[in-house]
Amino acid sequence: MDNFDKKVDITKNIKMLEWLKTELVSSVAALFRALLKGTRETILDALTNIILISYLLGRRLGMSFARIDLHLESKIRVNIDEGHQSEKWYGDLSELLRHLDACRPERKRREHFE
């Protein structure tokens, strides 16, 4: 790759990062609007966009999707252990951890071989 191509690639990455940051802020604003007067579907759409953009932003910053998933799982476990209010009152974090485990059977299989 010559010097020009490197500069174009860096510029493209910077533009993508800026676009993703803007989309994240926009999606958070859309969530707040939806919470005020939206439907369950508009709330779901905004939440899904936030999650999607977070994964893409992480990837553009050099983190793999798998690493993000593992860090998320670790954060969930720490918050369960520390007695997060959502866990105490509703058991939300344990439920999320069960959901993630059920959605990732390949990880369960892989853990058996490690």
Please write the tens of the pLDDT for every residue from 45-59. 999 999 999 999 999
Q: Is the pLDDT of residue 3 over 70?
A: yes
Please write the tens of the pLDDT for every residue from 53-101. 999 999 999 999 999 999 999 999 999 999 999 999 999 999 999 999 9
Q: Where are the alpha helices (DSSP H) in 1-114?
A: 3-37, 40-60, 65-81, 85-90, 92-103, 105-113
pLDDT band at 9 (very low <50, low <70, confident <90, very high): confident
- List all residues 6 or more positions away from 53 whose beta carbon is below 8 Å from its beta carbon: 20, 23, 24, 27
Do 69 and 16 share a domain, yes or no? no
Do 35 and 87 share a domain, yes or no? no
Do 57 and 78 share a domain, yes or no? no
Query: In the prediction, which pLDDT does 114 show?
Result: 41
**Can you give the pTM of this predicted structure?**
0.83
Q: Could you tell me the two tokens for 69?
A: 């998933």
For residue 48, the enclosing domain spans: 1-63
pLDDT band at 113 (very low <50, low <70, confident <90, very high): very low
Do 47 and 79 share a domain, yes or no? no
Number of domains comprising the chain: 2
Query: In the prediction, which pLDDT does 1 show?
Result: 62
